[in-house]
């Protein structure tokens, strides 16, 4: 199965890649809630939603500062770097990521759609300005440098819609690709969980690379199980 995928990649002029938490887990990024118990008493919806931010922005920012500190201590892994090399080899290439850690760009990938946002960007709730911010720790809560309005993480929260521009670019990449790689995703979070079916309907060869089977595994052309940091570099051999 891996050999067939490598052959198809070698002959493809257009490749799209969808990545999820599994690729960043290989860099040591902890799960959404973390493992130390500090935030286990909160449900994700209590921290990553507009309602939570309106109710207690300091609490939400304290949680995001904790996550930023964890991510800042980690680095992209061999899977991220292998995708940079794959991009160099393919005429048309795009990464669509559900991750907010910014590791694809940090590794050197050029064509990245961050459909869930980026933890290293902030957005003013008053003037709407989006800016990069890599302060670790960040002031809690932070204020806009232009209008002094309250900043929020530039993240798509529960109950919010994806950015139309990012979504449009993603669908264009799914429509036009010859090979779609789905790496480290659970296959249950929409709309990303539907991306394989979209590309397959347009004639693409769809391969899933994940540690464990997902609800989408039986629907793709190839399901290969293992760690992203091991499997993705193998595609370049």
Is residue 143 domain-shared with residue 203, that is, in the same domain?
Answer: no
153-182: pLDDT as tens digits: 999 999 999 999 999 999 999 999 999 999
- What does the pLDDT average to over 184-198? 91
Percent of the chain surpassing pLDDT 70: 95
Q: What is the pLDDT of residues 97-107, one digit of tens each?
A: 999 999 999 99
Strands (E), 64-204: 92-97, 112-114, 117-124, 130-132, 151-155, 179-183
**pLDDT per residue as tens digits for the range 17-62:** 999 999 999 999 875 544 445 566 777 778 999 999 999 999 999 9
Residue 33: its pLDDT value, please? 45
Domain check: are 167 and 221 in the same one?
yes
Q: Where are the beta strands (DSSP E) in 9-150?
A: 14-19, 92-97, 112-114, 117-124, 130-132
pLDDT of amino acid 34: 43
> Same domain, yes or no, for 100 and 149?
no
The reply to whether 104 and 50 lie within a common domain is no
Do 101 and 216 lie in one domain? The reply is yes
Round to whole Å and give the CA distance between 74 and 27.
6
Q: Kindly name the residue from 80, 104, 116, 154 that is annotated as catalytic.
A: 116
43 or 116: which carries more pLDDT confidence? 116
Determine the pLDDT at residue 44: 73
- On whether both 122 and 220 belong to a single domain, the answer is no
Task: Assess whether 137 and 212 both reside in one domain.
Answer: no
Q: Does the annotation mark 116 as catalytic?
A: yes
What's the rounded mean pLDDT across residues 170-196?
94
β-pairing, 14-19 vs 92-97, is parallel
C-alpha Rg value of the chain to the nearest Å: 18
DSSP state of 141: S
Domain count, the chain: 2
> What does the alpha-carbon distance between residue 192 and residue 181 come to, in Å, rounded to a whole number?
12
Between 220 and 40, the higher pLDDT residue:
220
Range of the domain at 147: 30-73+118-155
- pLDDT confidence of residue 23: 96
Joined tokens for residue 55: 């109710």
What is the pLDDT at residue 39?
63
Choose one of 138, 155, 172: the last residue of a domain.
Answer: 155
Q: Tell whether 185 and 230 lie within a shared domain.
A: yes
Residues 172 and 133 grouped into a single domain: no
Answer with the one of 106, 132, 155 that is the final residue of a domain.
155
Q: How confident is the model at residue 189 (pLDDT cuts 50, 70, 90)?
A: confident
Residue 31, pLDDT score: 58
Same domain for 212 and 111, yes or no, is: yes
Looking at residue 38, its pLDDT comes to 52
Residues 67 and 81 in one domain: no
23 and 81 co-located in one domain: yes
Which helix (H) or strand (E) segment holds residue 36: the answer is none
CATH number, residue 149: 3.30.1600.10
């Amino acid at each position: 199965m891996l050999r067939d995928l490598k052959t198809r990649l070698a002959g493809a002029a257009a490749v799209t890649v969808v990545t999820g938490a599994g690729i960043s887990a290989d860099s040591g990024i902890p799960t959404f809630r973390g493992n130390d118990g500090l935030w286990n008493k909160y449900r994700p919806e209590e921290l990553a939603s507009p309602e939570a931010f309106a109710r207690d922005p300091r609490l939400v920012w304290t949680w995001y500062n904790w996550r930023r500190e964890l991510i800042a201590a980690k680095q992209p892994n061999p899977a991220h770097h292998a995708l940079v090399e794959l991009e160099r080899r393919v005429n048309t290439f795009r990464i669509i990521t559900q991750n907010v850690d910014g590791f694809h760009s940090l590794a050197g990938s050029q064509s990245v759609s961050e459909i869930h946002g980026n933890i290293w960007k902030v957005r003013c709730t008053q003037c709407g300005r989006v800016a990069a911010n890599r302060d670790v720790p960040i002031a809690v809560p932070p204020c806009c440098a232009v209008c002094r309005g309250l900043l929020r993480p530039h993240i798509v929260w529960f109950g919010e819609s994806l950015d139309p521009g990012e979504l449009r670019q993603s669908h264009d990449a799914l429509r036009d690709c010859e090979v779609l790689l789905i790496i480290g995703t659970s296959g249950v979070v929409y709309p990303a969980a539907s991306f394989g079916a979209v590309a397959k309907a347009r004639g693409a060869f769809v391969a899933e690379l994940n540690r464990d089977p997902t609800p989408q595994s039986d629907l793709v052309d190839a399901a290969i199980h293992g760690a992203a940091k091991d499997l993705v570099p193998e595609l370049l051999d």
